[in-house]
Structure 1
Amino acid sequence: MIKSKKIKALLMTMSLSLLSIQSVHAASYTVQSGDSLYKIGRLFSTAANTIMQNNNLSSTLIYPGQVLKVSSQTYTVKSGDSLYLIAQNFGVSVDSLRKANNKWDNLVYLGQTLNIPSNNYTSVSPNSGQVSASVISHTEAEIDLLARLIKAEAEGQPYTAKVAVGAVVVNRVQDSRFPSTVTSVVYQKDAGYYQFTPVVNGMINKPATAEDRKAALEALSGADPTKGALYYFDDSTTNKWLWSKTVALRVDRMVFSYY
């Protein structure tokens, strides 16, 4: 009888805990400085174009303070909780939990609802020179391929431009409108034309430098100075279609733009 009561009490406690966890498809996320749809998508394991559709956005431009609907599991804080314990229970880092909730102190209160980030999310510091876990799958050969593309497209340009070239490829891999691997993006043909000039003129075959490889690894780890660009071109181009795109970043003679 005593054992039965203990089991019932345990089951009741588990049930109450489970009630604190919700699966919500329209949680709210407040855009922070430096955010992009791509970065927010990584945080919640959602494609950038899905976030655009769910929020009726006509472009990838977002601004700090903007509230977006995101697909996220949420958790309601209960007695005895802390950020550390919540992060530990969900298998995520405290940093990513803070990021998902724009919360930079340690205070949580009973009944507070928190967004739970993807447990595959890795924070990236673009200027640190440190390489974190990759945000997309790739092979060693694809690191070299991306580095060679960076060399061909941004040789002689500032280092930021090199990382940005790599980021455009990563952004395309992440976008459902483009192929899903580094190799297929670099060698993609559209209407019979290759997307990247170095593939056509053979510059893609020139060996990359150590700096080119470093830029490739940073881009693969999620560093993106463009905040989501999908195109780049030289500012001397007269292509009206390219100039019709929203400019995301200019570095020296290179222009990076959104879809």
Structure 2
Amino acid sequence: MLFFVRFKRAVVLLCLLGLLLPTTVVYAYQYTVVTGDSLYSISQKTNVSIEQIKSANGLSNDLLHPGQVLNIPDNAAATPTPAAATPAAAPKSTYTVQSGDSLYVIAQKHGIGAEALMLANSLNSTIIYPGQQLIVPLVATRSATPMAAEVSRSAKRPAIPFTDEDLDLLARLVTAEAGSEPMSAQVSVAAVVINRVKSSVFPSTIRDVIYAPNQFSPVRNGWINRPATASAIEAAKEALYGNDPTNGALYFFDKSSSNSFLRSLPVAATFGQMIYAYAK
């Protein structure tokens, strides 16, 4: 009888301890940062917002380094729903794209991943334009059982090899040349530099292309040394990972240019006040 009483007390004590213990954060898996990764790109791959990733890993800024291991929180496990409940349609709102906006910026404003924004609007690329109406899901969803190996296999390869210094320099050129232009124009400026690196006519590195004599006015006037904007960094990343709205342009200039050589080139695309051209 004494043993039975002690056993009941032990069971009750364990139950009370279970109620008092704090709830632990549930992680879906861990992700190892590779060269070229950013919080934005990882957010797109995992469909977990940047703020959630930063919070789960105690990050105070957006800096990452190759080899760093990140905990990816499992939203579904953190906020379970009753098994018998019928899923309701996710609430949505609309957003009108403003000049200078990017999917990354809009997603951050609404606390969701850029991939969720693309999915809600059936977008095949991240290019958007001022005045465009976007559906913004207020609750982001993602696959129930993501696997780190699947994320790694699905990651895009860069169009050319690059370092963090290359990314910063390219983003600074985008800022200086098209900082006030729409996102498509900014991506296109970066794409022109990458197209030159891939061409046999121009130098073979981002730095050498940008600092080639008499090519880019920001190098001559010193604007290349100004810090890059967030949208320019995102534009540079877009181009480095293969997004080229110009389809191979090697030159760009604004509509006010009177350069007879540039004006004689076949036009590839026009975004904002910027014109992009092929070689003759």
TM-score, normalization by structure 2: 0.45
What TM-score comes out, normalization by structure 1 length?
0.49
Query: 1 or 2 for the larger relative contact order (CA 8 Å, sep ≥6)?
Result: 1
Of structures 1 and 2, the larger Rg is shown by 2
